[in-house]
Amino acid sequence: MLLKWLGERGHEVPLKAAAAVSVPFELASAARRLNIGPSRLYQWVLLRWLKRSLARKARQRGGDGRFLKGLRDFRAFDGAVTAPLHGFRDADDYYKRASCRPYLCHITVPTLLVQAADDPFLLPGSTPGTGELGTGVRLEVYPHGGHVGFIAGGTPWAPHFWLDGRLRAFLQPYMEQAPVDAGPRALTSPQV
């Protein structure tokens, strides 16, 4: 959503910088990928949680959430729930209109994209080429990192996530450019 918004707004963005990690640039492609191999486990867990949450809300409002039981993948869920809830015709319409890839070329604000070549939620060819990126976009594709993993070492109980440091290094210079008197909502110290 952030990247699509940045591309839609172009030069009229009220942000100094932005960052996005493990981006599903094409929603239809990501939905297809989640039906393949071990990624199906993630899809099953997330769908189970979403369906339970929606069924509970439907019961609280006197509705019927039984139709949710028949939704077996994200495409079915998006067609039955996400698309109509947000004014899209169907899952295909939602995937086409909500995907950020067509908007990347219009991003002008400094934006860091961190992707992993081994992301189990993206099909090969899902990551855009440099010709598809706007002047403000820096795309970093690392050989390993999975989906928002980016662990550099440590132990299972104390992993070292290098992504935190990478995002901080990219955003810090823009945080320091904040006006001195930004009003009562200003942060007392930069937090990334």
pLDDT-based confidence at residue 153 (cuts at 50, 70, 90)? confident
Could you tell me which residue, 62 or 154, shows the higher pLDDT?
62
Residue 188 has pLDDT above 50, yes or no: no
**Could you tell me what percent of the chain has a pLDDT over 70?**
91
Confidence at residue 190, expressed as pLDDT on a 0 to 100 scale: 36
Please, what is the average pLDDT of the chain? 87
Confidence at residue 27, expressed as pLDDT on a 0 to 100 scale: 95
pLDDT-based confidence at residue 178 (cuts at 50, 70, 90)? low
Determine if the pTM surpasses 0.85: no
| Closest to 105 (Cα-Cα) out of 126, 127, 130 | 130
- Taking a C-beta distance cutoff of 8 angstroms, is the pair 108, 135 a contact? yes
- Taking a C-beta distance cutoff of 8 angstroms, is the pair 43, 35 a contact? yes
pLDDT-based confidence at residue 105 (cuts at 50, 70, 90)? very high
pLDDT-based confidence at residue 179 (cuts at 50, 70, 90)? low
- Taking a C-beta distance cutoff of 8 angstroms, is the pair 99, 88 a contact? no
pLDDT-based confidence at residue 104 (cuts at 50, 70, 90)? very high
b/e 50-68 (16+ beta carbons within 10 angstroms → b): bbeebbeeeeeeeeebeeb
pLDDT-based confidence at residue 177 (cuts at 50, 70, 90)? low
Q: What are the tens digits of pLDDT across the range 39-68?
A: 899 899 999 999 999 999 988 988 888 899
